[in-house]
Amino acid sequence: MKETLPSWPSKRLLACAVLSIFTTIAEAAYYPDFRKPFDFSLLLANNKLDLQTGSNEYDVSLDRISIEIFTLIEPQIQFGFISGSSHLSLDNDPVSAGKSLNGYHAGLAIRSFLGHNPQIGFHANYIYQETKNETAGQMITLDWHEWAAGIFGKVPLGQQWELSVGWTYHDVDVRHRTTGNTNQTQNLKLAGSQGRLEAAWLDHSDGRVSLAIQRGSYQQIEIRFLRKFR
């Protein structure tokens, strides 16, 4: 069976993210006088959400391993990108149940800060994701468009701890395509707001480790390892 390739806009987005990651890290490693500060994060996230089409509801378990980079040139507004691997399972669907759909995700982000102690912030991002499962007689593909925006408040707890509480709105639009023995296309959606709590441990060399829990229609547990390069 001929494999369906990602759309050209998705290819461009992934290529830009990968190229930017490579260029930024290469410059920082090669040039001792590199003066473009940035945040580098490794994220491990487990997500659970319910996608809907009409009266039908599908339980989704989504694991992502991501690399995220934000510029730190401007202290109050910063731009970033994210890219990584995605591993998804879709229940309550006779065709996809019990199968693992693997692929990638890539996206762009923006964040803004006001104040220092306490600190108030805003963040927004867009992520494109493609996951698929292919056998001899059938291929299942999920094309995923995800928009998110939210606000948060952050307070320090001593010198090495930080607590953040926030609210995030997610809008997810998924095209579920099945070809082969069974041929069908479904449009799945999710839209809703979530509460988010994050605790972070800060070291003394511009590094941090954080654990975030998000509750609502888009549940998430996320571990972040972050390092600032100045």
Domain assignment present for residue 68? The answer is yes
pLDDT digits (tens, 9 = 90+) for 90-126: 888 777 777 899 999 999 999 998 888 788 999 999 9
Report the mean per-residue pLDDT for the chain: 85
Residue 220 lies in a domain: yes
Q: How many domains does the chain have?
A: 1
Report if residue 126 sits inside a domain.
yes
More confident residue, 5 or 123: 123
Q: Residue 211 is part of a domain; what is its CATH number?
A: 2.40.160.20
Q: Largest Cα–Cα distance of the chain, in whole Å? A: 60
DSSP output for 56-117? EEEEEEEEEEEEEEEE-SSSSEEEEEEEEEEEEEE-S-TTTTT--EEEEEEEEEEEEEEESS
Domain annotation covers residue 3: no
- Model confidence pLDDT, tens digit, residues 38-91: 899 999 999 999 999 888 888 999 999 999 999 988 878 999 999 999 999 988
The pLDDT score that the predictor gives to residue 140 is 92
Residue 54 domain flag? yes
**Does residue 155 sit within a domain?**
yes
Asked whether residue 209 is assigned to any structural domain, the reply reads: yes
Identify the band that residue 14 occupies on the pLDDT scale cut at 50, 70 and 90: low
* Residue 162 lies in domain: 8-229
Residue 166 lies in a domain: yes
Average of per-residue pLDDT across 202-216? 92
